[in-house]
Structure 1
Amino acid sequence: MKLRLFPQEPAGLKLLAQLASQIVLATGTLSEILGAPASENARLVEDMHNHEAKSAELHFALLTHMRTSFVNPLPREDMYALSRFLNEAMEKLDAAAELVTLYKLDRLPRRAADQLEIISMQAELTVDAMRNLDNLDDLEDYWIEVLRLAKRAERSHRVWVADMLTEMKWSPYARNRDIAEQLVGVTRDMRRIATQVGSIIVKES
């Protein structure tokens, strides 16, 4: 680990952790949407839009903080990349929730719940990782575990798509495929975050 010569400001790491926490909350809301009657969807989707708006607010707050702070705990380009990936993951969760309502889907296959479980695990790990970016020696296990979960998500996605092709007609297949793509996109964003952390670990070692 490189010796840091200046005191570090923790505000940026707190903002990153809050961004990751929004993904945890949004995953819970999307799980509710998948299990709720259609009459509840409008309220829950509005909750999801609020999570997305809060994520965007935190993202821009971090950009402002980096511009105005003399000392940051990590290089600005790394903090910006982490914030951007977190915000993009949130946008995909928001899109998935909105599509469920727009397509008037009463339920999704079990594979959707599998993907949400993976996203939830990735997000919870990422919250802890963002809080501990000033102690990179403890983050290698996080990096490896999120990559493992991402591979599991890719396998689940392939099986989900194959099942849909076999079992569904074109119209329901297209609607479900859109949502499947949003969810696997979230797992890929979480993988990008972990890979960025891995890059930081290598650079700082």
Structure 2
Amino acid sequence: MKLRFFPQEPAGLNLLSTMARQIMLATGTLSEIIGVPASEHARLVEDMHNHEAKSAELHFALLTHMRTSFVNVLPREDLYALSRYLNEAMEKLDAAAELISLYRLERLPKRAADQLEIISRQAELTVEAMRQLNNLDELEDYWIEILRLSKRAERTHRVWMADMLNDMKWAPYVRNRDIANQLVEVTRDMKRIATQVGSIIVKES
């Protein structure tokens, strides 16, 4: 693969990496939410709203950076796509937290924790990958690992849905389904990020 040398202006990559770190932090907060009584949800959901607000702030900062910077480390359309997917993943985590609070769910199936573990790992890998976008030779393993985790997330989602259909009445099923759908969509956004990185690797090879 051809080695690409980018201009030495890492601000855009730092913003993307910080957005991915916000997803890691939000995943930790959501893990707390599913482990506490409903009476404690409000405080943690407010923390989630703060994570989401920070993500949006970083997203708009990147847009401003792209408009005002003479050179960018990647084509603007790639930077925008990566930032948008990161921000959308955060919005879905925030929505999941809010739904848990609104539905007053004090206990979620183990599959919820499994999905959060996958999201946390995807985010952890993405934090480092965003920093390394000026060295594409280092990113093929990231691309492949995220796709592997995404397949695991899809299987977990299917089993979770089947278990709920078998074990729950309609109202609890609908409430839990809403959470499950938000979480699997987060993993899909993380896959979209990796796929975008893969397309950059292919274009620059």
TM range (shorter): over 0.9
Provide, for residues 44-102 of structure 1, a one-character-per-residue CA deviation record: whole Å limited to 9, x for no partner.
Answer: 00000000000000000000000000000000000000000000000000000000000
1:42 aligned residue: 42
**Aligned ranges 1:53-64 → 2 under 5 Å:** 53-64=53-64
Runs of 4+ in 1 over 4 A off after TM superposition: none
* Separation (CA, whole Å) in 1 of partners of 2:37 and 2:102: 14
Label 1:131 to 1:172 Cα distance change in 2 as closer, same or farther (>3 A).
Answer: same
TM-score, structure 2 as length reference = 0.98
The question of 1:147 aligning with 2:147 is answered: yes
1:95 aligned residue: 95
Provide, for residues 142-186 of structure 1, a one-character-per-residue CA deviation record: whole Å limited to 9, x for no partner.
Answer: 000000000000000000000000000100000000000000000
* Separation (CA, whole Å) in 2 of partners of 1:87 and 1:65: 16
Label 1:171 to 1:3 Cα distance change in 2 as closer, same or farther (>3 A).
Answer: closer
**Aligned ranges 1:15-54 → 2 under 5 Å:** 15-54=15-54
The question of 1:127 aligning with 2:163 is answered: no
* Separation (CA, whole Å) in 2 of partners of 1:179 and 1:7: 42
Q: Residues 9 and 73 of structure 1 are in contact (CA less than 8 Å); yes or no, is this contact kept in structure 2?
A: yes
Label 1:3 to 1:37 Cα distance change in 2 as closer, same or farther (>3 A).
Answer: closer
Provide, for residues 3-53 of structure 1, a one-character-per-residue CA deviation record: whole Å limited to 9, x for no partner.
Answer: 54x623100000000000000000000000011122211000000000000
Q: Give the percent of matched residue pairs that are identical in Structure 1 and Structure 2.
A: 82
Q: Residues 33 and 97 of structure 1 are in contact (CA less than 8 Å); yes or no, is this contact kept in structure 2?
A: yes
* Separation (CA, whole Å) in 1 of partners of 2:101 and 2:107: 11
* Separation (CA, whole Å) in 2 of partners of 1:181 and 1:85: 17
Which residue type is aligned with residue 32 of structure 1? E
Q: Residues 3 and 136 of structure 2 are in contact (CA less than 8 Å); yes or no, is this contact kept in structure 1?
A: no
Count the aligned residue pairs.
204
TM-score, structure 1 as length reference = 0.98
2:203 aligned residue: 203
Task: Report which stretch shifted further, 30-39 or 46-55.
Answer: 30-39
Structure 2 residues not aligned, in runs of 5+: none
Structure 1 residues not aligned, in runs of 5+: none
Which residue type is aligned with residue 186 of structure 1? V
Which residue type is aligned with residue 187 of structure 1? T
1:81 aligned residue: 81
Secondary structure of 1:35's counterpart equals coil
**Aligned ranges 1:101-120 → 2 under 5 Å:** 101-120=101-120
Which residue type is aligned with residue 30 of structure 2? L
* Separation (CA, whole Å) in 2 of partners of 1:146 and 1:7: 27
